[in-house]
Structure 1
Amino acid sequence: MKLSIKGITIATLALLLNYSATPAIALPQQIDRSFIIAKSQPLTDTLIVPGERVGPVTRTTTKQDLVKLFGASRLVDKTISGAEGIGSFAATQVNLKQGRSLLIVWSDRTRTKPLDVRNLGYAWKTREGIGIGTPLSELRRKLGNFKLFGLAWDYSGTILLDSSRLSKYQGKLILRVDAAPNAAEKYPNDYQAVSGDGTFSSSNPHWKPLGVRLAEIIVVLNPGES
């Protein structure tokens, strides 16, 4: 029996939140060289539409499409490991300036169908204005009072969207918050009070001094492809 958080299995969440990328080593490219033309205009579409697209990257985007969109010089192929080092997945890093970089994880080795998009820079935002660095207070204004996992474990700070106003994004969007880098040392009692594998309300007063902000966004484009 698979455990799940309403719309996404724990196994899938483990893949999405627990992975390690190999060093950024470019792999041999097998693509039509006529498409290797870097775009002269900067990327302006930085909208996240959960389950549909991240800017120009959609559910049907392929590696060759990325070359057309961004130019081969901005792409680095990687392999990332699944939870606890089990399994591996093809990925492509897109290196863009001004907080626009992103990583596409593919559902197979052919790099023709994206599983998800992650490692998003600060320029990427949902229609609600949610992006990397959004503070917990603003998340509460946009999502209402919601529940999230405690800090300092595998699913640290993962927001349970089904308990929020954005429940429509459940299974399509993963949001994870984290405390400020020195929070555990400065406020050990508060930090400990909202740590561990339980769930906590976003209105819990122990969050307030910890400088909690959105630390990770994963946009799932083709659920169940892993």
Structure 2
Amino acid sequence: MNPSIKGIATVALALLLTNPVAALPQKTNQPVTVAKSQPSKDTLIVPGERVGPITRTTTKQDLVKLFGASHLVDKTISGPEGMGSFAATQVNLNQGRSLLVVWNDNTRTKPLDVRNLGSAWKTREGIGVGTPLSELRKKLGDFKLYGLAWDYGGTILLDSSRLSRYQGKLILRVNADPNAAQKYPNDYQAVSGDSTFSSSNTHWKPLGIRLAEIIVALNPSQ
């Protein structure tokens, strides 16, 4: 197991910049009133830095200001393999922009990571949930990844890719089509388990491999 990947995954690792808003129409010679700003649809992921306006210093109260309390749901999530629990806040937005902020502790003042990102979120390279394996190989080169069907299944080893600079800042995990194991059992078994495989392995091809999860580390544990 790559230690940095397991470390981030254990605590693990999201949104919307404020749009400039045009001034409201006013009568001549009267002061201009600027409309209250609203979150934009900016969905840029900058690994290790931000997901939209969510940065390393964003707090729960900041989320309320950014998105409104009605869009937030506090919860507690379990760590991988059931180890530990973490405070989290779900941000419910439309058009594939929802996400989950995982906090350092119950004060909800320091984000560990952002995860459960909707399909609208993309890195500068255009990588997002749903990106097929063929496109990932164009952007990352021929990389290595863990086999399917276990807790860290499908996790890409970024240090073996063109995006090695994101190591420790970003987790990318792929998965197969829901019925792939039944339709192509031999291929599925050939790339399953706690081993690493090349992205060029021919057994991936019939399985409909796509990016299933993105975790953006903001304040990874030491």
Place the TM-score, normalised by the shorter chain, in its bin: 0.7 to 0.9
CA contact (8 A) 2:156 2:171 kept: yes
SS at match of 1:64: helix
Matched position secondary structure for 2:12: helix
Equivalent position of 1:177 in the other structure:
174
Aligned to 2:187: 190
For the aligned residue pairs, the C-alpha RMSD in angstroms reads: 1.6
**Contact 2:191–2:197 at 8 Å: present in 1 too?**
yes
Give the Cα–Cα distance (whole angstroms) in 1 for the partners of residues 119 and 161 of structure 2: 23
Deviations 1:29-55 (A, max 9, x none): xxxxxxxxxx87453110000000000
In the alignment, structure 1 residue 49 sits paired with structure 2 residue 39:
no
What's 1:63 paired with? 60
Q: Which blocks of at least 5 consecutive residues in structure 2 are unaligned?
A: 14-35
Pick the aligned partner of 1:73 from 67, 70, 73: 70
| Cα distance in structure 2, aligned partners of 1:183 and 1:135 | 15
Q: Aligned partners of 2:207 and 2:155: how far apart in 1?
A: 16
Of 5, 10, 17, the match for 2:6: 10
- Residue 220 (structure 2) aligns with: 223
Q: How many residues align?
A: 200
Per-residue CA deviations over 1:139-181 (Å, capped at 9, x if unaligned) read 0000000000000111100000000000000000000000000
Distance 1:42 1:211 in 2: 35
Match of 2:159 in 1: 162
AA aligned to 1:151 is L
2:120 aligned with 1:120, yes or no? no
The CA deviation at 1:127 is 0.1
The aligned runs of 1:141-152 (5 Å cut-off) are: 141-152=138-149
SS of equivalent residue, structure 2 residue 93: coil
Determine the C-alpha separation between the residues in 2 that align with 1:180 and 1:40: 40
- Change in Cα spacing, 1:218 to 1:9, as seen in structure 2 (3 Å) is closer
Q: Does the C-alpha gap of structure 1 residues 55 and 70 become closer, same or farther in structure 2, counting only changes over 3 Å?
A: same
Name which structure has the greater RCO, CA cutoff 8 Å, separation 6+.
2
1:94 aligns to 2:91 (yes or no): yes
Deviation at 1:13, TM superposition (A): 2.5
Q: Is the 8 A contact 2:44 2:121 kept in 1?
A: yes
With normalisation by structure 1, the TM-score equals 0.84
Q: Which has the larger radius of gyration?
A: 2
TM-score, normalized by length of structure 2? 0.86
Q: Quote how far apart the aligned CAs of 1:15 are.
A: 4.0
Q: Distance in 1 between matches of 2:2 and 2:142?
A: 21
Secondary structure of 1:96 counterpart: coil
Q: Matches of 1:74 and 1:57 in 2, distance apart?
A: 15
